[in-house]
Each structure stands twice: as structure tokens, then as C-alpha cells.
Amino acid sequence: MSFVYKSDPVRGRQWAEIFAREAPALAFRIWPDIGDPAQVRFLAAWEPPARLGELFPNLQVLFSSGAGVDQFDFAALPPGLPVVRMVEPGIIGGMVEYVSWAVLALHRDMLQYRRQQAQAQWKAAPVRPAGHCRVGVLGLGSLGRAALAQLRSFGFDCAGWSRSRHQVDGVQCFAGADELPAFLARTQILVCLLPLTDETRGFLDVALFAQLPRGAGLVQVGRGPQLVQADLLAALAQGWIADAVLDVTDPEPLPPDHPFWQHPNIWLTPHIASMTQPDTAARVVLDNLRRFEAGEEMVGRVDRARGY
Ligand code: NDP
Ligand code: OXD
């Protein structure tokens, strides 16, 4: 019985060490060294190979090596194959750091100070307490909730929005399309931590931006295709959005002449908000294998019909 890893091979070797220590009976193989395909029961991949069901006829679980699963073509996967996304402390910690940095940067006018420095300008803006700033997070999943817990600790006035109803300590929770306008109307810094699905593609558009208070900040850490780029440029030009921090774009990277690169009100980072950490991820996957064998629910099990 074997486990195939098909993602960054350097990180794969770190997984291999942990598997060898903690699950020596399970052969751990790094793509393309797959051994006998009929022996492959588990696959961890960012992009699964084509014709997965034919290649690995006895595959029992597909693990995403990242938090997102939008890179999977669900229709091409064997029907009924369990799919599990990555929910692990390393990726959560990285996202908490990035969102904290970005929200603090927007709250403390750091993009304005970058612009001023380029003009050799020494000009202070008033410092407002975090408690006077209303932050809203789209998505109350493993990453959204963790980011909100940290933002609360700075004292921000926090809210979150999700498809289904959640209760999160100290966070005003909104749910569903009906409550989106109220969530947006109160949100001065908007963080997007939604998965990419048919419903969230193009979600960050002019209609949404127009519901935010004028001069809002945007942090986009979900997926590039959720943002309508022309609408962001228009919202920035009109002042509906004051500044934006974008970690994800469509495509990645943007072409060299794309207006986002040189835009004074956009801070771009190259999809580095968070990354799966091999040591913690391998242990989480091993725990999920134990759960699978015991017939228990695996952490991060994806609802294939819902797309996340
Ligand atoms: P989860 O699946 O745990 O959470 C997703 C959340 O989004 C849930 O609260 C869900 O609502 C909500 N949601 C999904 N669709 C809708 C919708 N149509 N309307 C309202 N709410 C919706 O995901 P994670 O928190 O683990 O990750 C979120 C995303 O972050 C990933 O899919 C990935 O795209 C991105 N990411 C980006 C990284 C980066 O480096 N930039 C790194 C890692 C992840 P409900 O709770 O009701 O189901
Ligand atoms: C992920 C990512 O989904 O890095 O893990 O974006």
C-alpha cells in the first residue's frame, strides 16, 4: 500500500522523513516515482495527474497539498473519491501573520507613507485606535476565523460573513446574501478569505465596492479570479477604495504592463500570504489517514458539490 506525493519535491522529502518515522508500513513515494500504481491508495497533490482514476485504480483519498481546492477539476475526478483540503497549523499561522500585517498597514496608512517617502515628504496623519476601525472578513473558515481571532487581539471591531450561520467570540457574524449589505456597510477594511467557486468568481466587483463606506481598504488573499480588476481600478479612481493589498491575481504573475504593478494605491505580493508547512502538514495528513482507517470524519473534507 502506498502514498504518493505530487507537489514541491523539496517539501516532499520533509514529508517523507516524517512518514518514514511515524507510518513506516506505508510506502511514501514522490512523483514521478510512483511504483506499482495499483498499490497507490492515497495521493497528496497540488495538481493531480490526468485520468486519475485510470492511473490509480485503487485510490481511496485525494489530499490537496494546499488549503484551496479550486485547482482540482472535480468533474474529472473519480465520482465519490473523498477530497480533503489542507487545514494545518502552519498554513493558518502564515495567513494570520499576513492578514494582520495587511490590516495593520491599511489601518496605519502605510501605503500613504510609502507614497510620501517616494516624494521625500514628512507628514504625519492622526493615529486612530484599532477599536475605531471596523474590519470585516469574507469567509469564516479555518483561515478567516484564525485571522479574526488575531485581529480582535489588536482591538479591531471585527465582523465576518459566510454562507451559513456561525458564532465566533467577539465577532459580529453575518450570513448569506441577505446579510451581505449590512456587513459591507459597516466594513472599513475588507479581507477576502473566500474559496474560489462558481459563486465567488467575480464577487469583488463594483456593486460590492459601492456598498462599502467611502475610502475603505481591501485585502485580497482568496483567489485572483474573485476580483474584477477593472472594477477595482474604477473604485480606486473614485475613492470608494482608498488602498488595496493584493496577494493573489489573475493570472499569476500579472503581465509586465498590467496597471496594478505601478498603481500607487495597490500593494502587490506574489501569492505568499501563507504556505503549507511540511512538518505540521504531514502530521495532519497522518492523523487524517488514521481517521480514515477508523471510519471517522477527516479534517478538511471537501463537499465536492459545493466546491470547497
Ligand atoms: P474554508 O473552506 O475553511 O472556509 C471557507 C469559508 O468561506 C467558509 O466560512 C464558507 O462558508 C465561506 N464561503 C464559501 N463560499 C461562500 C459563499 N458563496 N458565500 C458566503 N460564504 C462562502 O477555507 P479556508 O479558510 O481554509 O481557506 C479559504 C481560502 O483561502 C482558500 O480556499 C484559498 O483560496 C485561500 N488561501 C490563500 C492563500 C494565500 O497564500 N493567498 C493560502 C491559503 C488559502 P460556510 O462556513 O458557511 O461554509
Ligand atoms: C493554498 C495556497 O491554497 O497557497 O494553500 O494558496
DSSP class per residue in 139-170: --SHHHHHHHHHHHHHT-EEEEEESS---BTT
Contacts of 217 (CB under 8 A, 6+ apart): 103, 106, 107, 188, 189, 190, 241, 242, 243, 244, 245
In a domain, 177, yes or no: yes
Q: Are residues 14 and 96 in the same domain?
A: no
Radius of gyration, CA atoms only, the chain: 21
Query: Total domain count for the chain?
Result: 2
What is the Å distance from ligand 1's center to 92 Cα?
A: 12
Ligand nearest to the CA of 92: 1
Q: What is the DSSP letter of 241?
A: E
In a domain, 303, yes or no: no
Tell which one of 47, 63, 87, 91 to mutate to probe ligand 2, the residue whose CB is within 8 A of the most ligand atoms.
91
Residue-wise pLDDT tens digits, 171-182: 999 999 999 999
| Amino acid code (one letter) for 253 | P
Q: Are residues 172 and 284 in the same domain?
A: no
pTM beyond 0.95, yes or no = yes
The dihedral over CA atoms of 169, 171, 174, 180, expressed in degrees to the nearest 10, equals -160
Q: Cell numbers at residue 96, please? A: 494570520
Residues 139-150: what's their mean pLDDT? Answer: 98
Q: Are residues 258 and 194 in the same domain?
A: yes
Q: Are residues 11 and 35 in the same domain?
A: yes
Q: Are residues 142 and 190 in the same domain?
A: yes
What is the Å distance from ligand 2's center to 64 Cα?
A: 9
Residue nearest to atom 35 of ligand 1 (CA): 222
Q: Are residues 10 and 97 in the same domain?
A: no
Instruction: Give the integer Cα–Cα distance in Å for 208 and 202.
Output: 10
Q: Which of 163, 271, 283, 304 is catalytic?
A: 271
Query: Could you give the 3-state DSSP secondary structure of residue 174?
Result: strand
Confidence of residue 144 (pLDDT cuts 50, 70, 90): very high
Mean pLDDT, the chain, rounded, equals 98
Q: Are residues 79 and 147 in the same domain?
A: no
CATH number at residue 183: 3.40.50.720
Domain that holds residue 280: 2-88+276-293
In a domain, 299, yes or no: no
pLDDT for 41 = 98
Query: Could you give the 3-state DSSP secondary structure of residue 236?
Result: helix
- 300 Cβ closer than 6 Å to some ligand 2 atom: no
Q: Are residues 67 and 24 in the same domain?
A: yes
- 66 Cβ closer than 6 Å to some ligand 2 atom: yes
**271 in catalytic set:** yes
Residue-wise pLDDT tens digits, 286-307: 999 999 999 999 999 999 999 9
In a domain, 24, yes or no: yes
pLDDT for 111 = 98
Whether the Cβ atoms of residue 54 and residue 38 lie closer than 8 Å to each other: no
Residue-wise pLDDT tens digits, 25-51: 999 999 999 999 999 999 999 999 999
pLDDT for 296 = 98
Place of cell 502564515: 94
Confidence of residue 108 (pLDDT cuts 50, 70, 90): very high
Residue nearest to atom 2 of ligand 2 (CA): 66
- 224 Cβ closer than 6 Å to some ligand 2 atom: no
Residues 223-230: what's their mean pLDDT? Answer: 98
Place of cell 493573489: 248
- 67 Cβ closer than 6 Å to some ligand 2 atom: yes
pLDDT for 2 = 97
> What share of the chain has pLDDT > 90, as a percent?
100
Q: Are residues 82 and 138 in the same domain?
A: no
Q: Are residues 208 and 280 in the same domain?
A: no
Q: Are residues 11 and 75 in the same domain?
A: yes
